Each structure stands twice: as C-alpha cells, then as structure tokens.
C-alpha cells in the first residue's frame, strides 16, 4: 500500500473524527450544564470560576468522547468509501480491505497510548480539583444584591428592606429590618439612614443605622410592648459573605488517583488482609486449644477445671463465643478491604480498557461502515451511539459485579473489549472474503399476502 493511499485513507477519517468529537462533547457539556446550572446561578460565581468548572470537568468528557469519536470516524469514512465504490477500486488494484484498515489501526493505537497517559496523569488531578472546587461552591453563600424596595432574605433570621441605595452601594435610606435571630418573637428595627458593608474578614456584614427605632414585645411578658429610639445603632450579621473561599483537600477518591497511588493503596490493603488472616489463624488455634485442653497446663486455656463442672462449662462456652465474635469481626474487615481492593483494581483496568476501545472500535467500525454504505452521518452517529451504549453497559455492569466480588476486575473491565473485538475480527474476515454474513428476507408466508405476486416472480 503506497504512502499516498495511506495518507488518503487517514485524511478521510480526520473530518468525521472532529465532527463526532464536537457533537459528542456538545451533548456531554449540555447535560453537565443542566445538572449544575441552578447551583452556579444561585451562587453568583465570577466568569473565571465558571470557566474553571467547565475546563476541569472537560477531562472526564474527553476520556469518553475520544474513543466514541474514533468509532464515528471509522463508520463514516468507510461508509463513504464503500458508497463511492472506492473500496472496490482499491481491491481491483490489489489492495485488500484489511490493508486499508491497517493504517487506521496504527493511528488508533497511537491515540490509545496517548489516552492511557491522559487517564493516568491528567484525569485524576482534574477530577480531584473539580471535586474540591464544587465542594467550595456548594459551601458558598447564595449571591445577594441590594435592590430598593425588595426584601433581602438571604440571611437566616433576618429580613431586610431598603427603600433607597446610593450609587456607592454603601449609604442607604429607609431601612426596615425584621430580626428573628435567636428570638421567639421578632423585633422590628427601622432607621432613616445608615451604611452597609463587610468587616475585614469579608464574612461579617455590618449595618450602621442612624436616627431610628426598635419595636419589640417582651418575650417574658408578651402583653408588654417596647419602643426604643436611638441615634446610632450597629447590627452585625455573621457568615453573610458570598465570596468563594478556596480550599484544598488531601483526600482523594478512587477516580482522583493515578495508577501508582492506587497500587500503593492495594499494597496497604493486602498487608491488612494478610494480618487479619493471621489473626484469625491465631484465634482458631486458641479455640482448638480450649476444646482439647483438659488441665491448667494447657497454655491457651483460661479456664480453671478444678471448678465445678457447670461453672467450668459456662466459662468454656463464653470463651468460645468471644473468640467466634472476634473471628467474625476480622472476617467483616477482610470483606470490606477486599471490596476496596477490587474497586481500586477496577479503576486501574478502566484507565487502560477504555483507551484500548479505540482499537476495538476500528476493528468493529470498519466492516460496519462497509455495511452502512450510503447511510451517511446519521447512520454513523446512530451505530456509534448504539455500540457505545452497549460498551458502556458492559463497563457499568462489570464494575457492579466486581465490587460485589462476583467476577474479577479484569473480566469486568475487559469483557466488552474482548467481545466487541472478536466480533469486529469476525466481521473483518467476512468482509475480506466478501461473504454475506447478514441476511435479511421476508418469509414467504408474508410475501403471499402482498398485493403483487412476489413469490411467483422469484420462482420465475
């Protein structure tokens, strides 16, 4: 196969790849926006923080969209080549179909290698920073603004109404405050003017009021009503700041760790499991020693057999029950640690299995593209979506089964690649041999009911 043909085949995939990449990421981004839109709007975040949220979450989107875009590209490219009889032309010049697929497999392998590095180095850090940032945003106070004639109810325990706000956003007039903070009966504070602003901690809101009154009922004697006049009065509202406070976290979930981090965690879990089994072994030896022991000389026996038979038997039973509970506790720990070990193993395999899907999708998409022929973009996207949903169902189901220790993490993460890969190889062999491997015909019993005699035409 000449270099010109190789470049031509690869160039035919570039456009469909980026088309699929843009469409798939657009769908993922829109879905993500709908999920966090209310949180972002209610917190009044600056544009740079919103952009950071999207950039950090773009990493996991790329991990999904790149393999799927490869499948879209292969289906659309080979579908177009097949529809325009270019594959037939290549065959007539001595270039079989598998030779056309070979350069695409090489490019897919390069992309898979790059995605493995991306999943191990970039994705965990992005996931970690995204989680910490979203946690900070969740803790941030909702955004609030001073609007004349509109109640401010963003502060728990207070309702504030301001009739006039000066341009500096500091001096205010016509202030009414309903204070319900730590009170059974609210009090009303009114003032002709004042100033509003934050203290140096940017968290405590200070309202300095001038020339006003306080109206309240005595909580001990509700029949009594008090009205206090003041020249100057200050009100402090804590935790009123709506600035985003950035934090850091040393804790990392499974999807926030690199392969080396998870293998270190697995090593620690393996040591814990080994120590737990050793502890169980020692406790069982102690239990057998109690059962076999008949005198005080037995080193593992805590029972004085010179006691009467009933007392000695009760002590013996209590000792065995105690050991049994200790063994049960160790078994629960082992089960928990094994589940954690499997969860880490699943994430390790996932970092490699999903990128390898790029190669699998080339093996599968090439023959399917030839089958699709004139389906165009719609057929390419439709088939891609169908097989990617099937692939993802294998991953999700496998992960759930591996977490329950029903199957191994390797089988959980690689079964989709193996099954679809073998299917792709089968279709590829049939395509190279130009076999009809999918037949579709209408049963004759239905053909007889058609308004024209199709059966007779076929027989003739």
Q: Is the pLDDT of residue 430 over 80?
A: yes
Radius of gyration of the chain (CA): 36
Question: Given 3-state DSSP classes, what are the helix, strand and coil percentages for the chain, each rounded to the nearest 5?
Answer: 65, 10, 25
Read off the pTM. Answer: 0.71
Most confident of 57-71, 128-142, 234-248: 57-71
Classify strands 187-198 and 225-237 as parallel, antiparallel or unpaired: unpaired
The answer to whether residue 460 sits within a structural domain is: no
User: Does position 233 have pLDDT exceeding 70, yes or no?
Assistant: yes
**Residue 210 three-state SS:** strand
Write down which residue in 300, 324, 346 finishes a domain.
346
Q: Is residue 39 domain-shared with residue 121, that is, in the same domain?
A: yes
pLDDT surpasses 70 at 129: yes
Assign 442 a pLDDT band (cuts: 50, 70, 90).
very low
State residue 456's pLDDT score.
45
Residue 177's domain spans which residues?
158-237
* pLDDT tens digits for range 276-309: 999 888 888 777 776 665 434 344 445 454 556 6
Does residue 143 surpass a pLDDT of 70? Answer: no
Domain boundary among 346, 373, 405: 346
Q: How confident is the prediction for the chain on average, in pLDDT?
A: 81
Q: What is the total count of domains within the chain?
A: 3
Confidence class of residue 381 from pLDDT cuts 50, 70 and 90? Answer: low
pLDDT higher than threshold 90 for residue 149: no
Higher pLDDT, 141 or 156: 156
Which DSSP string do the residues of 64-115 spell out, in sequence order? HHHHHHHHHHHHHHHHHHHHTTHHHHHHHTT--HHHHHHHHHHHHHHHHHHH
Q: Look at residue 213 and tell me whether its pLDDT is greater than 80.
A: yes
Per the CB < 8 A criterion, the answer to whether 346 and 413 are in contact is yes
pLDDT band at 105 (very low <50, low <70, confident <90, very high): very high
Last-in-domain residue among 297, 325, 346:
346
Structural domain contains residue 459: no
Residues 376-380, mean pLDDT to the nearest whole number: 58
Domain contains 448: no
User: Using 50, 70 and 90 to split pLDDT, how confident is the model at 452?
Assistant: very low
Regarding whether 364 and 342 lie in a shared domain, the answer is: no
- Look at residue 39 in the predicted model and tell me its pLDDT: 74
Look at residue 88 and tell me whether its pLDDT is greater than 70: yes
Report pLDDT for 460: 40
**pLDDT-based confidence at 80, cuts 50/70/90?**
confident
> Do both 374 and 335 map to the same domain?
no
Same domain, 74 and 186: no
Per the CB < 8 A criterion, the answer to whether 429 and 421 are in contact is no
Does a structural domain hold residue 308?
Answer: yes
The edge-to-edge listing of strands for the beta sheet with 225-237 is 158-165, 171-179, 187-198, 205-217, 225-237
Task: Give the pLDDT score at 411.
Answer: 93
Task: Specify whether 223 is located in the same domain as 273.
Answer: no
Q: Do 113 and 217 touch, CB atoms closer than 8 A?
A: no
Please say whether the beta carbons of 342 and 398 come within 8 A: no
The tokens describing 390, both together, are 């099937």
Closest C-alpha to 53, from 141, 144, 131:
131
The answer as to whether 441 is a domain residue is: no
Residue 16 has pLDDT above 70, yes or no: yes
List the one residue out of 152, 12, 37 whose CA is nearest residue 87.
Answer: 12
Separation CA 236–CA 349 (nearest Å): 55
Q: Which residues pair with 126 in a beta bridge?
A: none
Q: What angle do CA 89, 94, 98 make, to 5 degrees?
A: 85
How is residue 439 written in tokens?
A: 């037949």
User: What's the confidence (pLDDT) of residue 142?
Assistant: 58
> What is the per-residue burial (b if ≥16 Cβ within 10 Å, else e) of 390-414?
ebeebbeebbebbbeeebbbeebbb
Distance CA 264, CA 252 (A): 13
pLDDT at 373: 61
Q: For residue 299, give the 3-state DSSP assignment.
A: coil
Indicate if 133 and 231 belong to the same structural domain.
no
233/301 same-domain check = no
What local confidence, expressed as pLDDT, does residue 293 receive? Answer: 57
Q: Among all chains, which residue has been given the structure tokens 């003041």?
A: 230
How confident is the model at residue 295, as a pLDDT?
Answer: 36
d(CA 155, CA 185): 17
């Amino acid at each position: 196969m000449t270099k010109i043909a190789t470049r031509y085949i690869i160039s035919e995939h570039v456009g469909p790849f980026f088309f699929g990449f843009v469409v798939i990421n657009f769908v993922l981004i829109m879905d993500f926006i709908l999920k966090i839109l209310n949180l972002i709007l209610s917190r009044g975040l600056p544009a740079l923080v919103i952009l950071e949220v999207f950039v950090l979450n773009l990493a996991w989107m790329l991990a999904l969209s790149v393999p799927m875009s490869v499948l879209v590209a292969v289906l659309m490219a080979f579908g177009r080549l097949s529809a325009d009889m270019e594959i037939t032309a290549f065959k007539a010049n001595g270039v079989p179909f598998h030779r056309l697929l070979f350069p695409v497999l090489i490019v897919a392998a390069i992309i898979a290698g790059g995605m493995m590095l991306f999943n191990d180095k970039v994705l965990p850090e992005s996931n970690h920073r995204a989680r910490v940032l979203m946690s900070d945003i969740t803790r941030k106070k909702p955004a609030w603004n001073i609007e004349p004639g509109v109640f401010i109810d963003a502060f728990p325990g207070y309702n504030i109404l301001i009739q006039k706000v000066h341009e500096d956003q500091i001096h205010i007039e016509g202030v009414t405050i309903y204070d319900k903070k730590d009170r059974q009966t609210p009090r009303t504070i009114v003032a002709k003017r004042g100033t509003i602003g934050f203290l140096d901690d940017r968290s405590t809101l200070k309202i300095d009021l001038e020339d006003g009154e306080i109206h309240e009922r005595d909580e001990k004697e509700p029949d009594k009503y008090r009205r206090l006049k003041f020249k100057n009065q200050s009100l402090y509202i804590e935790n009123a700041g709506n600035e985003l406070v950035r934090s850091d976290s040393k804790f990392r979930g499974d999807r926030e760790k690199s392969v080396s981090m998870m293998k270190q965690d697995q090593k620690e879990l393996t040591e814990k499991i080994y120590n737990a089994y050793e502890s169980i072994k020692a406790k069982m030896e102690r239990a057998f020693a109690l059962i076999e022991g008949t005198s005080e000389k037995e080193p593992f026996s805590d029972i004085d057999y010179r006691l009467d038979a009933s007392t000695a038997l009760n002590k013996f039973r209590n000792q065995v029950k105690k050991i049994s509970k200790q063994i049960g506790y160790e078994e629960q720990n082992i089960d928990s640690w094994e589940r954690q070990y499997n969860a880490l193993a699943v994430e390790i395999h996932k970092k490699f299995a999903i990128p390898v899907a790029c190669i699998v999708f080339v093996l599968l998409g090439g023959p399917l593209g030839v089958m699709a022929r004139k389906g165009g973009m719609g057929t390419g996207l439709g088939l891609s979506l169908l097989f990617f949903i099937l692939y993802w169902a294998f991953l999700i189901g496998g992960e759930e089964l591996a977490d329950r220790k029903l199957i191994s993490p390797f089988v959980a993460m690689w079964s989709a690649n193996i099954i679809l890969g073998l299917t792709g190889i089968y279709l590829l062999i049939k395509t190279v041999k130009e076999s009809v491997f999918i037949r579709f015909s209408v049963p004759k019993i239905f053909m007889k009911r058609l308004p024209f005699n199709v059966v007779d035409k076929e027989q003739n």
